[in-house]
Chains A and B, each alone.
Chain A
Amino acid sequence: EIVLTQSPTTMAASPGDKVTLTCRASSSVKYMYWFQQKSGTSPRLWIYDTSKLASGVPNRFSGSGSGTSYSLTISSLETEDTAAYYCQQGRTYPPTFGGGTKLELK
């Protein structure tokens, strides 16, 4: 089973800040997927195939990475971006998720 480790677990940032969340895999996964989950709602696909934005995702978000190291970056944080973000790999079974990063406003 591929283990995904996200860091940091919790992060506080101010509006306008550049924010980077990371996800490291225990083995190479080729592609990474990210989900945004706001409090009390279902997870929503946010970034797919490492760097492609899902429908409706603002272009201040970007994804990058390869091999075992991936990141999600917000170029200029907005208040609506506060949420939990989870990475997920689907290269091998079982599909696995990272533990999540909770992004809060400072």
Chain B
Amino acid sequence: DSGVTQTPKHLITATGQRVTLRCSPRSGDLSVYWYQQSLDQGLQFLIQYYNGEERAKGNILERFSAQQFPDLHSELNLSSLELGDSALYFCASSPSTGYREQYFGPGTRLTVT
């Protein structure tokens, strides 16, 4: 158990819909990262937050957005969903000091039908 929690574990929704994925980092970690993993694209970095502020953006679509709240939990919002958005979405957190190792949550499996 990494200490990072993600909800829900599974999500099935239809094209065009909007969903919200939630992540709670390890106690004390200020950095939160979101990743998308699919068979054809592999592991893709989406976005990073540090203590409530956006720090880095990766291959995140404009239909996707994220935020980190004062209690440090984070949400990833996916809208106008397409079949190609079906994937595993991981959240990871990282200590604010030290070597930047990341601790991954169990993931949310999103299926768009």
Q: Is B a genuine binding partner of A?
A: no
Chain B residues near A (Cβ < 8 Å):
none
